Copies of this chain bind each other. A is one copy, B any other.
Amino acid sequence: MEYKFSDRTNNLKPSAIREIFKYAADPTVVSLSAGNPSPDAFPVKELEEISAELFRTNPIGLLQYSVTEGYTPLREYLKGYLSDKYCIGTDNDDILITTGAQQIMDFATKSLVNEGEIIVTEAPSFIGSLNSFRAYNAKLVGVPVQSDGMDTEILEKVLSEHDNIKFIYTIPNFQNPSGVTMSMEKRERVYELACKYDVLILEDNPYGDLRYSGEFLPSIKSLDKEGRVIYAGSFSKVIAPGIRVAYVLAPKPIIQKMTVCKQGSDVHTNIWSQMLCYEYLTKYDFEAHLDKLRTIYRKKAQFCMDLLDKYCAPEITYDKIDGGLFIWCKLPESVDMLDYVKKAIENKVCVVPGNAFLTDESETTNGFRINFSTPTDEQLEKGIKALGKLIKSLV
C-alpha cells in the first residue's frame, strides 16, 4: 500500500544529527556529536532517595492521571523562583509544565503559526527546534549570528520586509550550536524590534544556568512589558534529560492555548518526574548542584579548548565560550566542510556538520559543532587529535 502523508510532514526528514548518531553508535568512533549532559552531572543519589520516598508516601498520586497544566506545587514554586531569581514573569503570565522543552516549540508553533507563516530564527540554530517548526510547514528565515548574537540590522530588515512573521526564535545564552551569548544591547534591541513590528519572541534558555565565566545577563523575558515573550526553561541540562521535564512561562492566553494543545497530545507530563523535580528543587541544595555542574563543565570546556589550541590551531578556529555544552569550530575557506566531516568519520571521530543547523540545509557553511560534555577526557583528546591531524593533512 502507498501511504499519503500530510503536506506538513511530507518533506520532513529525520534529523541530520540523528543520522550521524548511527556512526556515533560505533564504539570505535569518538562521538563529539551529542548534546548529552555529562553522566557525573546527574544527582543520582538524591533522585533515588526522592523517588523511594514518593513511593512510600504518595504512590497513588505518583501513578494516577494528573492535570494537564502540570503538578501545581511545581508550577507555583517555579513562578516564585523565576520571579525572585531572574525577574521573570508578571501577573499576566502563567506556567505550563511540558515533556521536555522541545514540546514547547511544538505547541508554540501549533497554537500560533499557520502553514506558510514565518518564524525568524538565528542562523545557525538548534536543529530540534527547526524541525519542530518545519513539522507545521512554517517558513523559516535565518538571521546570521555574530559574536554578540543575532545580527539585529538584518533582523530589522527581515521584520520590515515580511508581514506574516509570527515569532522570533532565539537562544540568547550559549546558543546551540554557535556557543554565542547575546549581548545586553542586542537583547534590548531584539525586544524593541519585536514591539515595533508586532511579533512575539520565543526565548529558549536551556543552558542559562550553565554559565561558567563572564557576567550574568538578564533574559529578554525579564524586559517584557507588553506580553510578547514566551520563555522556555528546562531541567534537562540541570537535573536530567531522561525525565523529560521543562516549563514554559508566557502570557496567560498563550499558555491556555498551549494547554489545550497538550490536552490533545500527551495529556500531562509524567507525574513522577514532576514530583521528582519539585522535591529536588525544594528539599535539596539546587544552587550548590548548579555550582557543581558549572565546575564540571568549566573544566571540560577549558580542556576542550586547550586541545583545540594544541592540535587544531591555526587551521581550525573557534570563539571562546562562557557556558553551555557546545563549541562551534570553523574550517579554513579552502576546505569543504561536508567532505571534512565525512573524512573525520573515516578517521573515527564524529562531529555535526554546520549546515544541519541552517534553515536551508543546502546552504554552505565552513562550521561544525563539537560537544564536550558527553565524551570522557580521553575520548576528547583522541577525537580532537584526530580532527587536528585530518585538517593538517588537508591544507
Contact = CB atoms under 8 A, between A and B. Distances in A.
A42 B128 CA distance: 36
B270 A242 contact: yes
A211 interface: no
Contact of A244 (B47, B55, B269): B269
Interface residues of A, number: 82
Interface string A144-166: 00000000000000000000000
A241 interface: yes
Given A5-B257, A270-B270, A18 B263 contact: yes
A226 interface: yes
Contact of A271 (B242, B264, B266): B242
Contact of A243 (B47, B254, B265, B270): B270
Contacts of A257: 3, 5, 9, 12
Contact of A111 (B5, B61, B253): B5
Tally of this chain's copies: 2
A8 B107 CA distance: 12
Interface stretch (A95-103, A213-221, A376-384): A95-103
Nearest to A56: B48
A9 B44 contact: no
A267 B253 contact: no
Interface string A94-124: 0000111011011000111111000000000
A8 to B, nearest CB: 7
Nearest to A51: B51
A240 interface: yes
Given A65-B36, A99-B270, A263 B131 contact: yes
12 contacts: A6-B112, A7-B114, A9-B111, A14-B260, A35-B65, A44-B63, A47-B63, A115-B115, A135-B261, A244-B267, A265-B265, A272-B272
